[in-house]
Amino acid sequence: MSKGLIEAILLLSGLAAVLGTAAWLLLKRPLALLAWGTRRSLLATGLKKLVVPTPAGPQTVFVGGTGPVLVLLHGAGDHAGTWAQAAKALAKDHTLVIPDLAGHGDSAPATGPIDTAQIYAGIEAVLSSQAPGQAVILVGNSLGAWMAMVVAQRQPDRVAKVVAVNGGPLLGTNTKVRLLPTNHEEARATMAQLRDASSPALPGTVLDDLVRLTQTGPLARFSATAMTMGPWLLTEDQLRELRTPVRLVWGTSDQLMPLDYAQRMVAALPDVALIPIERCGHVPQQEAPARFLAALRQALGDAPQ
């Protein structure tokens, strides 16, 4: 057998192994494959992956672009890659800072419960590292929106504006939504409450992977500390004292944090505007990326440049 033929066989064997791994991931770990792809997309956009030391442990953050600093904070159980589709457009006129929140993605802690204090400390350290002495724009989805509002309340000089996407710091979400489904049917029901009915149905493989992840993943680890979250919530009276401009970008089909939750914040905040996204649920940047980007642009339109 010639050397060239041997090399060709080895190459084909390697390719088959790679394809086999990809097929297995697609069938058994589609969410891991999606995470890999979206995080690679952030790098392809030109962002650099950095590690920032924090009291919560090393935090991974993607940084790049040009212009005013825009910090994008994902929701519980998610990771920086959730912003991949928006990042390509936003990096043209903003310096993006996109962290994996503590205990999520590649950020510490890798195991054990994730406390709200760790998430806040991680964000605080990332801001000090990547935008020292600057007032930044915080864009947060779900948990990220909650944390953005807390940063604005505790450190108003650090925040030029908050854009809260289907999230906030008030007590009162829909507890009937099972965020930690234990089987395929519960996962299907959960996603139906988090997405618009007109959105494409998620494949069964994704639902099964969601069940697997919600048992031991970041969302479960964060939920385990629910009893310690109280001090991090804000009241309507505290929102009335907030002087930071707030724009609410809201998927109106969200049943976890429905539109009336956003309207409670509208009633309390002194400088606020509500920008609804119709036929869209809890994570607009993934479910309706083009319409989300248009709404976000509207929210940023009067941001200080």
Quote the CA–CA distance of 181 and 193 in Å, as a whole number.
Answer: 12
284 in a structural domain: yes
Encode pLDDT of 265-278 as tens digits.
999 999 999 999 99
With the C-alpha atoms ordered 27, 31, 36, 38, is the resulting torsion angle positive or negative? positive
Between the alpha carbon of residue 88 and those of residues 63, 80, 162, 290, 298, the distances in Å are 12, 13, 21, 12, 17
Give 33 or 6, the one with higher predicted confidence.
33
Q: How far apart are CA 67 and CA 182, in angstroms?
A: 44
Domain count of the fold of the chain: 1
pTM of the model: 0.91
Exposure pattern of 132-155 as b/e (b: 16+ CB <10 Å)?
eeebbbbbbbbbbbbbbbbbbbee
What residue type is assigned to position 21 of the chain?
T
For the chain, how many residues are written?
305
Single-letter amino acid code for the residue at 74: H
Per the domain annotation, does 4 fall within a domain? no
The pairs formed by 229-233 with CB atoms below 8 angstroms and a separation of 24 or more are 229/116, 232/116, 232/117, 232/120, 232/146, 232/150, 232/169, 233/169, 233/170, 233/171
Comparing C-alpha atoms, which of 245, 240, 263, 255 is closest to residue 301?
245
Q: 9 pLDDT exceeds 50?
A: no
- Whether 21 is covered by a domain: the verdict is no
pLDDT for residue 141: 98
State yes or no: pLDDT of 3 exceeds 60: no
Return the exposure string of 33-48: e unless at least 16 CB atoms fall within 10 Å of the residue's CB, then b. Answer: bbbeebbebbeebebe
**Residues in contact with 72: Cβ distance below 8 Å, sequence separation at least 6, in sequence order:** 80, 83, 86, 87, 96, 97, 98, 139, 140, 144
Question: Ramachandran region of residue 133, left (φ > 0), alpha (ψ -120 to 50) or beta?
Answer: left
The mean per-residue pLDDT over the stretch 117-134 comes to: 97
Work out the average pLDDT over 154-161: 97
- The whole-angstrom separation of Cα 38 and Cα 70 is 19
Q: What is the mean pLDDT of residues 98-118?
A: 98
Structure tokens at 169: 């710091």
> The tokens of 231 are what?
């001090």
The domain that holds 144 is classified in CATH as: 3.40.50.1820
CB atoms within 10 A of CB 17: 10
* Rounded to 5°, angle at Cα 64 from 280 and 149: 50
H or E stretch covering 152: helix 143-154
Per-residue pLDDT at 12? 41
- Is residue 17 domain-resident? no
pLDDT one-digit tens code per residue, 183-241: 999 999 999 999 999 999 999 999 999 999 988 999 999 999 999 999 999 999 999 99
The mean pLDDT value of the chain amounts to 91
Q: Return the pLDDT at 174.
A: 84
In a domain, residue 5? The reply is: no
Domain membership of residue 159 as a residue range: 29-300
In a domain, 22, yes or no: no
What is the distance between the terminal CA atoms of the chain, rounded to a whole angstrom? Answer: 67
Q: Name the one residue in this structure whose structure tokens are 């990220």.
A: 144
Whether 19 maps to a domain, the answer reads no
Decide the pairing of beta strands 69-73 and 48-52.
Answer: unpaired
Q: Is residue 2 domain-resident? A: no
DSSP element (H, E) containing 162: strand 159-165
